[in-house]
Amino acid sequence: MPMKYSAKKLHIKMRKILMNSIYTIGFTGKTAEKFFSLLRTSNASRIIDVRLNNVSQLAGFTKRDDFKYFIKEIIHWDYFYMPEYAPTQDILQDYKKKKINWQNYTERYINLLDARKIIEHIDYNIIIGGVLLCSENDPQYCHRRLLAEYIQKHNNNIEIVHLK
pLDDT at 4: 56
78-81, strands of its sheet edge to edge: 78-81, 46-49, 130-134, 21-26, 159-162
Give the pairing type, strands 78-81 and 21-26.
unpaired
pLDDT at 19: 60
Residue 16 lies in a domain: no
CA distance 114 to 37: 34
* Enclosing domain of residue 61: 26-162
Number of domains in the chain: 1
pLDDT at 99: 98
The whole-model pTM stands at 0.87
Residue 91 lies in a domain: yes
Q: 77-108 as b/e, with b when 16 or more CB fall inside 10 Å? A: bebbbbeebbbeeebbebbeeeebeeeebbeb
pLDDT at 11: 47
Dihedral (Cα; 66, 68, 73, 78), 10-degree rounding: 170
**Residues in the chain, pLDDT under 50:** 1, 10-13, 15-18
- First-to-last alpha carbon distance for the chain, in angstroms, is 34
List pLDDT tens digits, range 23-52: 999 999 999 999 999 999 999 999 999 999
pLDDT at 59: 75
